[in-house]
């Protein structure tokens, strides 16, 4: 739970990288479904998964079970392809976040080119909304993309914070922060819900969450990374006990 200037900022926990560890061995653990339950118990306001075309981490099975078990809100990140739209209409997540997707990328590297794909995105957005799915567009902090998202009829925009998060020098971070702030203000004026995500961690999230227009942040890698570290001592102690014959 986080509060900023009296406003409540929702936290969506992305569990993709729990599945990344599982897929490294193609076994059943760690299970992103179990991680989602624990995240909700700890106060997550929503669970986020990215079902990628190459299924490198989250699998269709995860989405099917999460749809049954998530008690807060399920946000499916996906490319706007016909195959993915079919899957979204079948599983009906609460929200679909449309993202660009390139097979060779390590993670989602940029925002959607909304203005250039206006008619197609309008059609996809309408189809999803007709099935009562909220539609959010993942965009760079760029006013033209915000305005195009409004024209598409999206319910929300998720502003890409990756550049801000990865900025090596203060001036760069400051310039990116101002772009995020400006995009958030314009989006809010256009009655779009404003979400932020990508690259956010324990150090850089505060400044973003304090932007009053931003009502939700979606965070994955830093939370999963921290979970591995805070859990390591206990996991080793338990293994030592198991070696000693105790369980
Ligand atoms: N939002 C979107 C649209 C993303 O694609 C991702 C990465 O899957 C995230 C948020 C979470 O980013 P990170 O794992 O860096 O916290």
What residue ranges define each of the domains in the chain, with the CATH number in brackets?
10-243 (3.20.20.70)
- b/e per residue 136-170 (b: at least 16 CB within 10 A): bbbbbbbeebbbbbbebebbbbbbbbbbbbebeee
Q: Give pLDDT, residue 104.
A: 66
Mean pLDDT, the chain, as a whole number? 95
Q: Give pLDDT, residue 183.
A: 98
| Predicted confidence band of residue 6 (pLDDT cuts 50, 70, 90) | low
d(CA 48, CA 128): 17
Q: Is 208 in the pocket of ligand 1 (CB under 6 A)?
A: no
Q: What percent of the chain stands above pLDDT 90?
A: 92
What dihedral do alpha carbons 103, 162, 77, 139 form, nearest 10°?
Answer: -100
d(CA 75, CA 177): 25
d(CA 173, CA 162): 10
Q: Give pLDDT, residue 28.
A: 98
| Predicted confidence band of residue 132 (pLDDT cuts 50, 70, 90) | very high
CA of 197 to the centre of ligand 1 (A): 6
Q: What is the residue with the minimal CA distance to atom 6 of ligand 1?
A: 198
Q: Quick check: 186 pLDDT over 60?
A: yes
Q: Is 95 in the pocket of ligand 1 (CB under 6 A)?
A: no
CA of 95 to the centre of ligand 1 (A): 15
Q: Is 138 in the pocket of ligand 1 (CB under 6 A)?
A: yes
d(CA 157, CA 112): 10
Q: Give pLDDT, residue 75.
A: 99
Among 20, 138, 203, 218, the mutation site with the greatest number of ligand 1 atoms within 8 A of its Cβ is 218
| Predicted confidence band of residue 7 (pLDDT cuts 50, 70, 90) | confident
Q: Quick check: 247 pLDDT over 90?
A: no
Average pLDDT of span 85-99: 98
Q: Quick check: 3 pLDDT over 70?
A: no
Q: Quick check: 5 pLDDT over 90?
A: no
Q: Give pLDDT, residue 245.
A: 81
Q: Quick check: 31 pLDDT over 80?
A: yes
| Predicted confidence band of residue 4 (pLDDT cuts 50, 70, 90) | very low
Q: Is 200 in the pocket of ligand 1 (CB under 6 A)?
A: yes
Q: Is 218 in the pocket of ligand 1 (CB under 6 A)?
A: yes
- The predicted model scores a pTM of 0.95
Q: Quick check: 72 pLDDT over 90?
A: yes
What is the number of the ligand 1 atom nearest to the C-alpha of 12? 10
CA of 198 to the centre of ligand 1 (A): 4
CA of 240 to the centre of ligand 1 (A): 35
Average pLDDT of span 80-105: 92
What is the number of the ligand 1 atom nearest to the C-alpha of 199? 15
């Amino acid at each position: 739970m986080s509060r900023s200037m009296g406003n409540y900022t929702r936290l969506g926990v992305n569990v993709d990288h729990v599945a990344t560890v599982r897929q490294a061995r193609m076994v059943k653990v760690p299970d992103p479904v179990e991680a989602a339950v624990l995240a909700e118990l700890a106060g997550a306001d929503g669970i986020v998964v990215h079902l990628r075309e190459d299924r490198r981490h989250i699998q269709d099975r995860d989405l099917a079970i999460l749809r049954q078990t998530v008690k807060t809100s399920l946000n499916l990140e996906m490319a706007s392809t016909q195959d993915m739209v079919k899957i979204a209409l079948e599983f009906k997540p609460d929200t679909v976040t449309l993202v660009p997707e390139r097979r060779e990328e390590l993670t989602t590297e940029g925002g959607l080119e909304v203005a250039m794909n206006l008619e197609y995105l309008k059609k996809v957005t309408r189809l999803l909304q007709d099935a009562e799915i909220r539609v959010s567009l993942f965009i760079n902090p760029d006013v033209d993309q915000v305005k195009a998202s409004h024209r598409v009829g999206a319910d929300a925009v998720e502003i890409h914070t990756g550049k801000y998060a990865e900025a090596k020098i203060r001036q760069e971070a400051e310039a990116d922060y101002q772009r995020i702030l400006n995009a958030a203000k314009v989006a809010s004026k256009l009655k779009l819900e404003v979400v932020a995500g990508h690259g956010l961690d324990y150090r850089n999230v505060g400044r973003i969450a304090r932007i009053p227009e931003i009502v939700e942040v979606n965070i994955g890698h830093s939370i999963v990374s921290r979970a591995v570290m805070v859990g390591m001592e206990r996991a080793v102690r338990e293994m030592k006990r198991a070696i000693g014959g105790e369980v």
